[in-house]
Structure 1
Amino acid sequence: MRARSLPLLAVLCAFLALLMHDVATAQARPNHIAARLVAEGPVRPGQPLTLAIAFTPEPGWHGYWKNPGDAGYGLTLKWKLPPGWQAGEPQYPVPQRLVIGGLMNHVYEGPYAVLIDVEVPSSAAAARPAPIAVDAQWLACTDQICVPEQARLTLDLAQVQPGAQFDRWRAAIPALIDRAASFASEGGRLRIAIPLPATLAKPDLHVFLEQRDLVRYAAVQTFAAEGDLLIAEIPLAAGAGRPQTMSGILALGNGEGVRFSAVPGPVPTGGVPLKTGDRQAGPIWLLLLGALAGGLLLNVMPCVFPILSLKALSLARAGESDAQARAEGIAYTAGVLLATLALGVLLLVLRSAGEMVGWAFQLQEPAVVVALLVLASAITANLAGVFHLPSLSLTRGGQPAGAFATGLLAAFVATPCTGPFMAAAMGAALLLPWAQALLLFGALGLGLALPFLLLGFLPPLRRLLPRPGPWMERFRRAMAVPMGLTVAALAWLCWRLGGASFAVGAAILALLTIAALAALWQGANRRTALAGLSAGLAVTMAVALPSLVAPPASATEGVLPARPFSEATLASARAEGRPVFVWFTADWCLTCKVNERAAIEREATRKAFEKAGVVALVGDWTRRDPAITRFLTRHGAAGIPLYLWYAPGGEAQVLPQVLTVDSLVSLAEGSPQAGP
């Protein structure tokens, strides 16, 4: 060998020695997740033997379930068993969820054990059983690094000592439900109906599926209960296949759960939505503050503008005396609280019965809109001086009945729109226990009534108001104009809800009511007029108007071309890899209409969307639509407006309920699909 080759050979030998040292060090280094093989009891020929692989992670380290989620890999076992022995499938405890960087993993962060039942042949030697071994491989991770680990675990069955630890390990394994679940795929979502007693506690639900890459692991899962059936909905992963069977673990919370197997079959729609850990309602005090602030803001939201005339009259009368001001403030607050609590109770009762209704359900019913039209028409005529009945005189001095009626009407008309701060509180109210939900509805009413309540009890505030005088009569007549606009809006809503014939019938009913009240006020045979009014109302409402209801009017094409919303359409649009904008509106939602005029139905928005390739979807909630209601509930919304933006490949971004003029243009221009 030439002398000049010796240095190169020395370097190569040193490198090989260093590499072998590193390998030896790695083999000698203990695992971050220690493992040991344990048997439940001595060998009994012909009877199964339960083994456990007990894992103990170091602090900050975790192992993985058989389906690890978005990253990682599960446990693999290679058994060394005596002839005739057969190891079954590993049984795992309920895993935990770990989300890092938007990826969800199914992990175990503390000590846990995997159980394996081994079939022992009847010919096995009970006195001197052969030792068994298993080559195990797993992945140990922290939030920063992952290390593949392995070990050969051996067990001398002749020295097995029974221990109580198996009772604890076996109790951690979820039991298998004795009835098969059913599943179906629709609208880009996997829906699973799991038999589960309604009385079983479900503090934190989550479905862990054994099938890989079938669902989006980090997406929000939603649940509803229909009797002894739990309905889970999970967004499907892109390109997900269609399995013939599936299995998994339904986590119930607090480490409890059940195993299930499912086959294709029908899955009911509806049910009572349930709160999950993915949709934490938040501290109740924070929700109460949100409901209170939302009620306060309703006083200046567009959806409350039609009844500002009634509030203005009450404000003007509040300055006459301290006692009267306090009485009117309390009466107005009582009316608002009664209306909001009654609407809340009715909403909860309907949802408990399986009806998919939202916070604005009262304005989705044609009969309710007709009743509001008749009432608003009568109030308009009363303000204009056509008649002057005490029961409709909302400014009658010294009597709190008018303020109470104002509060009832204010809450009934104002609450369908969901303003800032109010959305989270009302969405949580649909998922919380009844007592807490009613507290939220009461806080909303208190916020709506608070300005009048403060005026009633704080004289310095009342001194800021104009003094009562003859101007009030002129003001009262002037306020007939905004109430008349409310009548026109309600008549238009009747047309949108039930068609032209229905709207004409409702208008005739309102005119007949005004004529009857005018005759009653003038004293012309009051009993006859009252009887005629009652009979006319009963016959018209019970017979004529319901028969005139037609399918809702089709939406007119706007500046922004949009497809009708459905979950299937949304899934298809997102699969195209383009940005998607979804908005939910209704003809009775003034906030929605203001946003559409100011930010959505604009030429600048249309051009920005077209340039960025944005797909626009619109959901019309004017009439009750269970599919839209389910979708709103899934996103924690009890009402509308709701605006969602989906970046390509991303999850839904909930936009503010009050859109600025260029907010959508900015989103489109910032989209990856936008041009230079």
Structure 2
Amino acid sequence: MRNLFRAAAGGLLMLWLHTGYAADTGWLQSPQNSHAKVRLQAQPAPLSEKETRLLLSVSLEKGWKTYWRSPGEGGISPSVDWQKPVTVQQAKWDWPTPARFDVAGITTQGYHDEVTLPVTLSGEVPGTIAGTLTLPVCSNVCILTDYPFSLDLGSSGDNADFARQFAAAMGKVPIAEGLADTITAGYRPGVLQITAHREQGWQNPEVFTDTLEGSSLGKPVVKVDGQQARFTLPVTDEWGDKAADITGKTLSIVLSDNGLAQQIHLKVNPLPAEAPGAVALWQVALMALAGGFILNLMPCVLPVLGMKLGSILQVEQRNRKSIRVQFLASSGGVITSFLALALLMTGLRYTDQTLGWGIQFQSPWFIGLMVLVTALFTANLLGLFEINLPSKMTTRLATHRRSGLRGHFAEGAFATLLATPCSAPFLGTAVAFALAAPLPVLWGLFLMLGIGMSLPWLMIALWPGLAMCLPRPGRWMLRLRLFLGALMLSACLWLLSLMQNHFSALTVVVLAGILLVMLFSLSLRRYGLRNCALTAGAGALLAGAAIVIVSPFSGTGGKPLRDDIAWQPLSEEAIQTALAAKKVVFVDVTADWCVTCKANKYNVLMRDDVQQALTENDVVALRGDWTLPSKPVNDFLQKRGSVAVPFNQIYGPHNPAGEILSPLLTRDAVLQGLKDARGAR
């Protein structure tokens, strides 16, 4: 009898503790939803009169789920419509680490079986907490259920069991730090990449992302490499089309691994280039080979090819062996120079400096050196003197007979230097891939670029008969040397014109005048007044004809070419502002030292129909100048995976992510790109 009394008293005590010290709805179930039940408990926070703690427990049948605060590609998260005096702003929800569900190609984030969500209400402790909980649950179908509730806190006190439950629920909420040592987020059009480093390594890392306004983040692809975990997520807009730029936005994620989770807020930075592996390495190697080969067809390299032709003609006893050795030496100069560029890029990477193709032409010292070298080559080709550098340099850049191999090696190196202002098709893609790749891949791709550029030289080395088909030396060689000298002089004057970006125009004109006077004086002494006058006159006529044919002063129908486009400074903000106004954006990144940029300008951008298209009311033209070092322009290019100019891109209402055009522009490509970006008018 005594034991029965004790059991009854204990039961009453437990009932009294449950109802007297912790407000509790008990398990609530709806007639319309037998697959879930919910329970709400609440109690004022210990030693606080301005905070109330609440626990929302959800129990689900097997095969059913509910959602996290960011459901993913479908669904909605649980919510409460609070009754006064409680408001939505007072409620702070803490969310345990979710799981990922994949159904019919759609990925969502949420919970299954059972979950308890801690909620903290700030402000004065109310007498009653009431409202309606809206809970989504899904299996093969989805059900949205409302659960009205009311919790009387009038007699609530300190309840050790509620405190334990609340602490246990908070223990499943991701911590602020302690999992990843470093973590970064980068974005390029259509792809978000999150990289996390952990000294202890990773077992089964997962990432859960909060929603970004206007964007939808897909299921991540996880790649673990020792201490580094990389998550690559597709990014679209809310309709599955091309996403707007999310660079600069703050991303909220939960990173988890083997039961430990961390809540992290990251700023999304530009992703410099496509991660190695997204494109097969052999494909990029072929691009590098083709890009290097096409450099031989660019106008930058033409003077050096002329010099090489002249060197063959000056060999008195031409034979296959000597021609093979000469061209192998020149090929070695090309390849060695590309490896030197790889070394330079390696050093720049380790010192966090700007990486880019042709950036050495941003330096006045480099341009000055190239002006000096081309001037010496010009004088040599004109037969004014032989060039013999000091023995420490051990390289004879040019001699009449070119009997040594060092001169041929130097020709290949010099051709590579002159090729760097040119961005040929495939070259930009290969270089961008190389600069973002591990160092062994970087060196391998620059080696392929060198082999590609040296292919014509290697072909003659393999089949010397190609060179032996040239006519025998004679008087015509003198005229050819003068022609080659004129080509080299034009390259020298072009390089000198680039100094206007560093010095005044008057200084450059004076230097050009001094150079021309010196060359004319030396030529006058060697060839006489009559020959010099005839040569100068012929050169003036040829220069005039070239100006009439290819310069900006000869447009269609004989009209002068004019640039009537109202170019605006390039910036990410300008692009987004124009897109918000439903306008088309044409981006042109150029540099004065870029020969291909000049060709695009005069052959395409300054043509009448293209000018008319780019001056339409709904078109915004933005131009970035990379002639001198510019961090904004460099960041802009790196974000788009480019390291070279020219760079052109078109945005519009039907192409908000932007379309990157080929380095060599065509009229049809520009006009069609503008039309596609605009859509139906």
Q: Match for residue 177 of structure 1?
A: 177
1:287 matched residue in structure 2 = 284
Task: Give secondary structure in 2 for the equivalent of 1:313.
Answer: helix
1:498 CA displacement: 3.4
Deviating more after overlay: 459-468 vs 294-303: 459-468
CA 1:652–1:196 in 2, change beyond 3 Å: closer, same or farther? same
Corresponding residue of 2:210: 210
Residue 370 of structure 1: aligned partner? 368
Q: Distance in 1 between matches of 2:598 and 2:287?
A: 24
Distance 1:51-1:315 versus aligned 2 partners, 3 A rule:
farther
Query: What is the Cα-based RMSD across aligned positions, in Å?
Result: 5.6
Distance 2:618 2:635 in 1: 28
Q: What is the rounded CA distance, in whole Å, between the counterparts of 1:637 and 1:97 in structure 2?
A: 37
Cα–Cα, structure 1 residues 291 and 604, in superposed 2: closer, same or farther, change >3 Å? same
Tell me the distance in 2 between the aligned counterparts of 1:584 and 1:431. Answer: 21
Distance change (3 Å), C-alpha of 1:516 and 1:608: closer
Counterpart for residue 168 of structure 1: none
Shift in CA distance, 239/327, structure 1 to aligned 2, threshold 3 Å: closer
Q: CA contact under 8 A between 1:559 and 1:602: conserved in structure 2?
A: no
Q: How many angstroms apart in 2 are the aligned matches of 1:397 and 1:178?
A: 67
Pairing of 1:115-514 with structure 2 (within 5 A): 116=115, 137-138=136-137, 147-148=141-142, 176-178=176-178, 209-213=209-213, 217=217, 247-249=252-254, 259-262=262-265, 281-314=278-311, 316=313, 320-390=318-388, 391-393=396-398, 396-500=401-505, 503=508
Query: Match of 2:673?
Result: 667
Say if 1:75 and 1:138, in contact at 8 Å, map to a contact too: no
Deviations 1:131-155 (A, max 9, x none): xxx9963557xxxxx9536899xxx
Q: Percent identity?
A: 28
Deviation digits for residues 152-175 of structure 1 (CA, Å, limit 9, x no counterpart): 9xxxxxxxxxxxxxxxxxxx9987
Partners of 2:103 and 2:645 in 1: CA distance: 32
CA radius of gyration, larger in: 2
Distance 1:148 1:576, change over 3 A: same
Native 8 Å contact 2:649 2:660 kept in 1: yes
Distance 1:468 1:293 in 2: 34
Deviation at 1:571, TM superposition (A): 1.7
Change (3 A) 1:607 1:139: farther
> Matched residue of 1:645: which SS?
strand
Equivalent residue in structure 2 for 1:652, among 655, 658, 664: 658
TM-score by length of 2: 0.62
Give the match for residue 126 of structure 1: none
* 1:445–1:598 Cα change, 3 Å: same
Deviation at residue 306 of structure 1 after TM alignment? 4.2
Please report how far the alpha carbon of residue 339 of structure 1 lies from its aligned counterpart in structure 2 after TM superposition: 1.3
- 2:335 and 2:66 map into 1 onto residues whose CA distance is 53
Superposition map of 1:27-38 within 5 A: none
| Partner secondary structure for residue 495 of structure 1 | helix
Matching residue within 612, 615, 619 for 2:620: 615
Contact 1:382–1:389 (Cα < 8 Å) also in 2: yes
Whole-angstrom distance in 2 between the partners of 1:291 and 1:298:
11
How far apart in 2 are the matches of 1:139 and 1:357? 50
Distance 1:54 1:470 in 2: 98
TM-score in terms of structure 1 length: 0.63
Q: Return the alpha-carbon distance in structure 2 between the equivalents of residues 206 and 584 of structure 1.
A: 39
Contact 2:37 2:58 in 1 (8 A): no
* 2:23 equivalent in structure 1: none
Q: Distance in 2 between matches of 1:463 and 1:481?
A: 25
CA distance in 1: counterparts of 2:206 and 2:665, whole angstroms: 34
Residue by residue over 1:256-299, the C-alpha shift from the partner in whole angstroms, topping out at 9 and shown as x without a partner, is: 99744449xxx8999xx66666x854111111110000000111
Instruction: Return the match for 1:92 from 93, 98, 101.
Output: 98
Q: Which secondary structure does the structure 1 equivalent of 2:403 belong to?
A: coil
Could you tell me whether the CA contact under 8 Å between 2:422 and 2:594 is conserved in 1?
yes
Indicate if the aligned counterparts of 1:394 and 1:403 stay in contact, CA closer than 8 A: no
Match of 1:602 in 2: 607
- Find the aligned partners of 2:181 and 2:677 in 1 and give their Cα distance: 41
Distance 2:256 2:522 in 1: 62
Counterpart Cα distance in 1 of 2:299 and 2:260: 47
Change (3 A) 1:648 1:489: same
Q: Secondary structure at the match of 1:420?
A: coil
Quickly say closer, same or farther: Cα 1:623–1:482, change in 2 above 3 A.
same
Q: How far apart in 1 are the matches of 2:348 and 2:103? A: 34
Instruction: Flag structure 2 segments of 5+ consecutive residues without an equivalent.
Output: 1-31, 39-54, 81-91, 120-132, 147-171, 221-227, 238-242, 389-395, 527-560
Partner of 1:527: none
Quote the residue 1:73 is aligned against: 75
Give yes or no for contact 1:359–1:638 (8 Å, CA) kept in 2: yes
